[in-house]
Structure 1
Amino acid sequence: MSLFLGCTSAEHAEDTEIYARVGEAKAYPLVNLSKELVRSAKQETDASQIIQKLANLSRDQLAEELDSDAAKKAFFINVYNGFVQHILMNNPEKFDDRGAFFSTEQITIAGEKLSLDDIEHGIIRGSKVKWSLGMIQDPFADDFEKTFRVVKTDGRIHFALNCGAKSCPYIAIYDATKIDEQLDIIAHQFLNRSSTYQAEEEKVYVTSLFSWFRGDFDGLDGVKDYLRRYEVIPEDADPELEFKEYDWTLELGNYTELDVKANKTTSSH
């Protein structure tokens, strides 16, 4: 049986049940708006109206809808990926200075000016300090960040965020009611595409994301648990980790569609 398709723990099963109950009871129009942002990027159509709607959202309205980690992750992963694609399609030279690209406040959500770093590290990762390997939570988070940040850091988000580089995961569209399954699927896809297991060397070559954000994966032993869970290495294997060099070449337009029902992905470029 494929490990990533089923629950790996009682906690995972409980989370999935919670997501299902939430989905039955609630619609997510603002998450749907974030999905439209990604679709417009994929279709290379004008997103100015969508961007304006995101900027003009009421903070109270947004907080009312994003009342779970599932909804927060779906909304802000879509926002991050959609804006990266639109910004770099229009101004690819911004990627020449990646530090400025990620740290500049160039996105407005519910009246709040945000950087890509604010969205990734402050909100989606739950106020993690960027250069702390995922070990330290920022004690100086502002009120907006505290309102919208996820409660429990989820390492799988690193396999869903696309910053415009060649080594990044493919872009999918995430739904608040399906995101737990979707993140499992994208994690399986990305890790099996980007990892190389050499049994004879007792080594596994993996993405540098595991090194940079190791705290989000519960340390290096936790990294191996992820590799076992998503079928990169056998259950009884304990190989040495080797981190691949990240290819920062600008590469836009890498999309994938997640088929939750069939538990598979199809990619497009």
Structure 2
Amino acid sequence: MKNLFLSIILGLMAVGNIHAQDSLSYAELSVQLIENLRNGQPTEAIVEKLASVSEKKLKEDLNTEGKQKAFWLNVYNAYVQIILSENPDLFKDRDSVFGYNFFSSPQITIAGKDISFDDIEHGIIRRSKVKISGGYASNPFPGSYEKKFRWDDVDPRIHFALNCGAKSCPYIAAYDPDRVNEQLDITTKQYLERTTDYYPEENRVVVNKLMSWFRADFGGKSGAIKMLKEYEIIPQDADPSLDFKAYDWTLELGNYKEI
């Protein structure tokens, strides 16, 4: 009898959660997806809703840059956790040129379309940038899907928000559409503080490899130095040389943080 009562309560709670999700915008639903993952709650209903929404409805719903940023950051981070929690061995194939590649193979369904992590990061979030160009080259033939969902400018702070499953990645936060810019400032400062080594006696600063891989997004070396000053990582009058740390690709899941 006790087990039956517990099953009924859990069933009612699940139904209540589904009804609550029906009232959320898709940006808010992406926040709920991250929170469910962090708290060990089911995600299947949210995943199904994100997969089945029409492109038109999703585009209409993501009607501000704040909603767009929050939605795609949360979706990227959530699906890395979902996919690699189910099959961590997939991460071993992240550099494959032929066959399956964890980042470039379509394995996420959003608005009826199968897309890859690269499609989200470089196509939508980075506005159709060529992945291996350091941010200096744009894809001259972007697809209609990414053109529909991308926004006007590349925000370098997103590199300190996207978590690809590696130990050197930023922490995972639930990005709120109403607070996303504030949150991106917070996570950028925290990540730079955690990963930057400044040696004033050598006039040298060592930063995460992300600032090399996507150097055009940061405005080159001068832009990276400017960002370090903006977030008070180095003194305002410093003009150090810039070096980069090796990236630790050890798989590390579940690195959530409240921001």
Q: For this structure pair, what is the TM-score category when the shorter chain's length is used for normalisation?
A: 0.7 to 0.9
The equivalent of 1:110 in structure 2 is 111
- Measure how far apart 1:220 and its partner are: 1.1
Provide, for residues 163-201 of structure 1, a one-character-per-residue CA deviation record: whole Å limited to 9, x for no partner: 000000000011111111110000000000010111111
Distance 1:69 1:28 in 2: 18
Indicate whether 1:42 and 2:43 are aligned.
Answer: no
AA partner of residue 73 (structure 1): K
How many Å separate the matches in 1 of 2:40 and 2:104?
A: 25
- The number of residue pairs the alignment matches comes to 232
Letter in 2 for 1:76: W
1:136 CA drift (Å): 1.1
**1:131 has 2:152 as partner:** no
Contact 1:123–1:148, Cα closer than 8 Å, also in 2: yes
Asked whether the equivalents of residues 28 and 65 of structure 1 are also in contact (C-alpha less than 8 Å), the reply is no
User: 1:28: how far off?
Assistant: 6.4
Is the contact made by 2:28 and 2:177 (CA closer than 8 Å) also made in structure 1? no
Q: Which residue of 2 aligns with 1:68?
A: 64
Please report the TM-score for the alignment, with normalisation by the length of structure 1.
Answer: 0.84
CA contact (8 A) 1:69 1:152 kept: no
Q: Is the 8 A contact 2:130 2:138 kept in 1?
A: yes
Q: After superposition, what is the alpha-carbon deviation per residue over 1:59-92, rounded to whole angstroms, capped at 9, x for unaligned?
A: 1111112123221111000000000011111100
Secondary structure class of the residue paired with 2:173: coil
Q: Max radius of gyration: which structure?
A: 2
Give the share of equivalent positions with the same residue, in percent.
Answer: 53
Give the whole-Å Cα distance in 2 for the aligned partners of 1:106 and 1:90: 13
Mark the runs of 5 or more structure 1 residues left unpaired by the alignment: 1-26, 259-269
Structure 2, unpaired ranges of 5+:
1-22, 96-100
Whether the aligned pair in 2 keeps the contact of 1:72 and 1:148 (CA below 8 Å) is yes
The equivalent of 1:8 in structure 2 is none
The equivalent of 1:165 in structure 2 is 166
Tell me the distance in 1 between the aligned counterparts of 2:146 and 2:188: 26
RMSD of Structure 2 on Structure 1 (CA): 1.2
Q: Which residue of 1 aligns with 2:16?
A: none
For 1:180 and 1:224, locate their aligned partners in 2 and report how far apart those are by CA, in whole Å. 21
Deviates more, 1:67-76 or 1:204-213: 67-76
After the TM superposition, which residues 161-240 of structure 1 pair with which residues of structure 2 at under 5 Å, given as runs? 161-240=162-241
Other-structure match for 1:246: 247
How far the C-alpha of 1:230 sits from its partner, in A, is 0.9
Match in the other structure for 1:82: 78
Q: TM-score, normalised by structure 2?
A: 0.87
Secondary structure of 1:216's partner? coil
